[in-house]
Amino acid sequence: QSLKDLCMYDIPSSMWGVVKQRGSQPGPRSGHSAAVVGRYMYLFGGTDGRRTFNDLYRLDCQTLMWDEIELPNRGLHARSGQASGLTGVRWFIHGGWCTRGFSSDLHALDTVKVAEMQVQLKGGPYSSADFTVKVTFAKEGKPPPISVQWYRAKPGEPFEKIAGANELVYNPNADDIKCQLGVACMPCRGNRPLGVSYFRVTRPVEVDPKLGQLVHELITNTYAEFRVKLLKTDVTDFSYYTLLLGLDFIKLKEKSRTRLKDTYRKEFKIILSKTQPNTFVMSLHEGTNLPMAVEHTYERDLVALVARGFWAMNREKWKWK
At 254-312, the pLDDT tens digits run 888 898 899 988 888 888 877 777 888 888 887 788 888 888 888 888 898 899 888 88
Instruction: Judge if 99 and 11 occupy the same domain.
Output: yes
Instruction: Judge if 236 and 216 occupy the same domain.
Output: yes
Instruction: Judge if 267 and 157 occupy the same domain.
Output: no
Nearest Cα neighbor of 210 from 173, 170, 167 is 173
Q: Is the pLDDT of residue 207 over 70?
A: no
Task: Tell how far CA 247 is from the center of its chain.
Answer: 34
The pLDDT confidence band at residue 187, using thresholds 50, 70 and 90, is very low
- Please give the Cα distance from 177 to 180 (Å, whole number): 9
- Among 72-86, 182-196, 224-238, the minimum mean pLDDT is found in 182-196
Instruction: Judge if 126 and 99 occupy the same domain.
Output: no
The pLDDT confidence band at residue 121, using thresholds 50, 70 and 90, is very low
CATH of the domain at 246: 2.30.29.140
Q: Is the pTM here over 0.85, yes or no?
A: no
Q: In percent, how much of the chain has pLDDT > 70?
A: 71
Mean pLDDT of the region 6-24: 89
pLDDT value, residue 75: 63
**Of the ranges 39-53, 61-75, 182-196, the best mean pLDDT one:** 39-53
Instruction: Give me the domain span that covers residue 194.
Output: 188-318
Last residue of a domain, one of 110, 129, 153: 110
Instruction: Judge if 261 and 212 occupy the same domain.
Output: yes
Task: Tell how far CA 115 is from the center of its chain.
Answer: 26
Q: Is the pLDDT of residue 235 over 60?
A: no
The pLDDT confidence band at residue 155, using thresholds 50, 70 and 90, is low
As a whole number, the mean pLDDT across the chain is 76
Instruction: Judge if 97 and 119 occupy the same domain.
Output: no
Instruction: Judge if 194 and 311 occupy the same domain.
Output: yes
Q: Is residue 166 part of a domain?
A: no
Nearest Cα neighbor of 274 from 202, 156, 183, 153 is 183
Q: Is residue 183 part of a domain?
A: no
Instruction: Judge if 79 and 119 occupy the same domain.
Output: no
Q: Is the pLDDT of residue 16 over 60?
A: yes
Q: Is residue 81 part of a domain?
A: yes
Q: Is residue 256 part of a domain?
A: yes
Q: How far is CA 3 from CA 30, 44, 55, 203, 292, in A?
A: 7, 15, 16, 51, 68
Mean pLDDT of the region 73-94: 81
- Please give the Cα distance from 240 to 253 (Å, whole number): 9
- Please give the Cα distance from 69 to 138 (Å, whole number): 11
Question: Do the Cβ atoms of 29 and 4 come closer than 8 Å?
Answer: yes
Question: Do the Cβ atoms of 184 and 195 come closer than 8 Å?
Answer: yes
Instruction: Judge if 93 and 149 occupy the same domain.
Output: no
223 Cβ neighbours under 8 A, 6+ residues apart = 244, 245, 246, 247
- Among 192-201, 248-257, 274-283, the minimum mean pLDDT is found in 192-201
Instruction: Judge if 204 and 218 occupy the same domain.
Output: yes
Q: Is residue 175 part of a domain?
A: no
Total domains in the chain come to: 3
Q: What angle do CA 153, 155, 156 make, to 5 degrees?
A: 95
pLDDT value, residue 196: 35
Terminal-residue alpha carbon distance, the chain: 83
Q: SS3 for 70?
A: coil
- Among 52-56, 91-95, 151-155, 270-274, the minimum mean pLDDT is found in 151-155
Q: How far is CA 81 from CA 59, 76, 109, 183, 279, in A?
A: 20, 14, 17, 61, 64
Mutual orientation of helices 297-318 and 209-220 as an angle, nearest 10°?
Answer: 50
Instruction: Judge if 34 and 20 occupy the same domain.
Output: yes
Cis ω for the linkage preceding 187 (within 30 of 0)? no
Q: What is the DSSP string of 167-180?
A: SSS----TTTTT--
pLDDT value, residue 290: 87
Question: Do the Cβ atoms of 29 and 2 come closer than 8 Å?
Answer: yes
Instruction: Judge if 195 and 309 occupy the same domain.
Output: yes
Nearest Cα neighbor of 136 from 153, 118, 151 is 118
- Please give the Cα distance from 114 to 112 (Å, whole number): 5
pLDDT value, residue 119: 40
C-alpha count within 13 angstroms, C-beta hemisphere, residue 312: 9
